[in-house]
Amino acid sequence: MKLTGIGPAIIDYHIHTTIKSLYECSAILQQDIKLGGWYQISTAEDFEQIIEHLAPTHSYIKMAGGSPANALVSASQHGVLSNFITTVGQTQDIDQDGKIFIKSLEIHDIEVHPVLSLGHTAKILSVTIPETRGEKTMFIFEGVKNELHSLPITPGQYVLTDCYEFLHDPMKSTIDRLMDSKKHIIALGLGNFTIVEKLNTYLLEKIAASKIHMLFGNEDEFQKLLGENLSTMEIITHPLLANLTDIILTQGRNGITARSNNEICHQKAFSISKDLIVSTIGAGDAVAGTYLAGTIKDLPLQQRLRNAAHQAGKIIQTEDARLPA
Contact at 8 Å (CB) between 208 and 90? no
Query: Can you give the residue ranges of every domain in the chain?
Result: 3-10+65-119+146-315
12-51 pLDDT, tens per residue?
A: 888 888 889 999 999 999 999 988 888 889 888 899 999 9
Measured from the Cβ of residue 321, the count of other Cβ atoms closer than 10 Å reads 28
Taking alpha carbons only, the member of 262, 263, 261, 249 closest to residue 308 is: 249
Contact at 8 Å (CB) between 289 and 70? yes
96-121 pLDDT, tens per residue?
A: 888 989 999 999 999 998 877 778 88
Taking alpha carbons only, the member of 246, 232, 253, 245 closest to residue 312 is: 253
Local structure of residue 270 (DSSP, 8 states): P
Distance CA 24, CA 211 (A): 42
Ranges of H-type helices in the chain:
19-23, 25-29, 44-54, 67-77, 96-106, 171-181, 193-208, 219-226, 232-236, 283-296, 301-315
Longest dimension (CA), the chain: 53
The CATH architecture one would assign to domain 3-10+65-119+146-315 is: 3-Layer(aba) Sandwich (3.40)
Would the pLDDT of 147 be above 70?
no
215-235 pLDDT, tens per residue?
A: 999 999 999 999 999 999 999
Mean pLDDT (the chain) is 89
Contact at 8 Å (CB) between 76 and 109? yes
235-262 pLDDT, tens per residue?
A: 999 999 999 999 999 999 999 999 999 9
